Amino acid sequence: MDALFDDFSGAQKKCNGDLLSRTVTAGLTNDELRAIWKTCNAYDVKDVIKHGLQASDIGRSGAIPKEELKAWVDVYAVYWKAVGELLAVRDTSNDNRRASQASWAKVYESWKELLSALIKGYNSSSFESWTIPCLYVTGKYLREFAIKADAEKNSTQDNAAEPNFQDDFDPEAQQNHHLEDCARQLNRVFNTCLNDRAPLENSRKWGIYHVINLLFKTYFKLNSASLSKNILKALSAGRGDMPPLEAIPKSQQVTFKYYEGVLQFLEEDYVQAEKHLTEAWRMCHKDATKNKELILTYLVPCHLLTAHTLPSKKLLEPYPRLQKLFLPLSQHIRKGELHAFDLALQEGEDEFVKRRIYLTLERGRDIALRNLLRKVFITGGFEEPKSEGASPLRRTRVPIAEFAAGISLGCQETLDNDEVECLLANMIYKVMTHLLTVFWTQNLMKGYIARERGMVVLSKSGAFPGTGI
């Protein structure tokens, strides 16, 4: 445990929160954890820790108030216990009785005690704001252990399952029991940061974005993304007293922007979603391939709806999974192949639903239909010039039957004129609707249907806006 005392002393001298957070981390080797665990026992742990902290350079200097020192003794005593539980789970080669009783649930509970001890130290004003990395490092591992505890419990239940009906609902049998509890604990951390009334330069609010990102990840894992909106509302309400997002590490900015964008995406506010996701994409490290893939998973559908743009092969080249999902759809949309688009959407349905992008991509069928109708329009050629030397004009009066033939070919099924008129009216209607909303870019087709003549009369300028025709 001497290394822990040295790190504690060094961190206190330099007010280095990152160094201090290493004294409460689970990210140590088994040998390092074992060195901490074997230093003392359950009966003398507090005395050993108190003596070690007092004997350190910072302890001998008397720079740490007694109340703060006592609070750190309580924290490290709980940390010592948590290390023992973690070692018991990790050290599978050990066949002793302690190892046989080990479980991730016990690791989770001990880590929750550690988080509570830290929160108590902050609420009693014993710990200064620069020590806040200890909170979110502990929260990060708490989430990790909650996931492992739930997986362990569900695996045990599956192995012990009997083919009998259960008459009563067992609330303890929830699949994500520990992760749900973890979300509650992280909310405590969030409030600990949010409610700090110290001046901003000495405030715990500097750690709030780290905690929010942990909550985002937890809520999304629980399939309860909507709960994230409450966090954003609380953040927005106190925005004037918050540190600027630009002042926190770029990695945390990217994470925050990503989840903010995904939340707007799920709310179908694709303009704002595109804005946040684009910012996340631009700030993301060039080698963070996995993160870039996650951002593109939502940014590609956003671009499809807001700007009617499709991803290029070059853009998706580093991401084989996205190539498999998006390239077939993009090719069929570009060519106006409705039937092939439907098949590609069906083939990737499971993954699209899992990523919550199915309904958004389904709207890409409108773009595919627009491109098919545009092909029919171009095939119609030009009208006879009214005077010699006049510039040729495209034929803008197109028989519904021609569109019907094109649509039937694209769908690989015969549609009657009423169905075709319905599709055409839908294309024209969307122009009129979206001109009145923020979705002004969703212009698909300009014109009107002359039913009595069996014609579609298209605009002479911009019949298919955004396509150059």
> Structural domain of residue 424, as residue ranges?
376-382+393-458
Cα→Cα distances 411→100, 339, 404, 414, Å: 62, 5, 10, 8
User: Does residue 367 lie within any of the structural domains?
Assistant: no
Based on the domain organization, do 224 and 261 belong to the same domain?
no
First to last CA, the chain: 74
Question: Above 90 in pLDDT, residue 74?
Answer: yes
Rounded to the nearest integer, the mean pLDDT of the chain is 87
Instruction: Assess contact for 53 and 65: CB atoms under 8 A.
Output: no
Domain end, chosen from 248, 272, 287, is at 248
pLDDT average, residue stretch 421-444: 63
User: 427 with 318, same domain?
Assistant: no
Phi-psi region of 56 (alpha: psi -120 to 50; beta: other; left: phi over 0): beta
> Which segment of 77-86, 137-146, 359-368, 455-464 scores lowest on mean pLDDT?
455-464
117: DSSP letter? H
Residue 443 scores a pLDDT above 70: no
List the CATH number of the domain containing 406. Answer: 1.10.10.10
Query: DSSP readout, 331-356?
Result: HHHHHT-HHHHHHHHHHTHHHHHHTT
Give the pLDDT confidence of 76-130 residue by residue, as tens digits: 999 999 999 999 998 765 555 555 678 999 999 999 999 999 999 999 988 999 9
User: What tokens appear for 41 in the block?
Assistant: 């026992």
Same domain, yes or no, for 350 and 412?
no
d(CA 185, CA 119): 10
Neighbours of 158 (CB within 10 A): 8
Q: Do the beta carbons of residue 407 and residue 415 sit within 8 Å?
A: yes
Last residue of a domain, one of 223, 248, 273: 248
- Work out the burial of residue 86: count CB atoms within 10 Å of its CB; fewer than 13 is exposed, 13-18 middle, 19 or more buried: buried
- Residues 193, 297: one domain? no
- Asked if residue 397 has pLDDT above 60, the reply is yes
Do residues 426 and 342 share a domain?
Answer: no
Residue 412: pLDDT above 80? yes
Cα 146 to chain centroid distance, Å, stands at 19
H or E, element range at 164: none
Q: Are residues 320 and 293 in the same domain?
A: yes
Task: Give the strands of the sheet with 455-458, arranged side by side.
Answer: 397-399, 455-458, 447-450
pLDDT of residue 348: 93
Q: What percent of the chain has a predicted confidence (pLDDT) above 90?
A: 62
Say yes or no: 285 and 399 in one domain: no
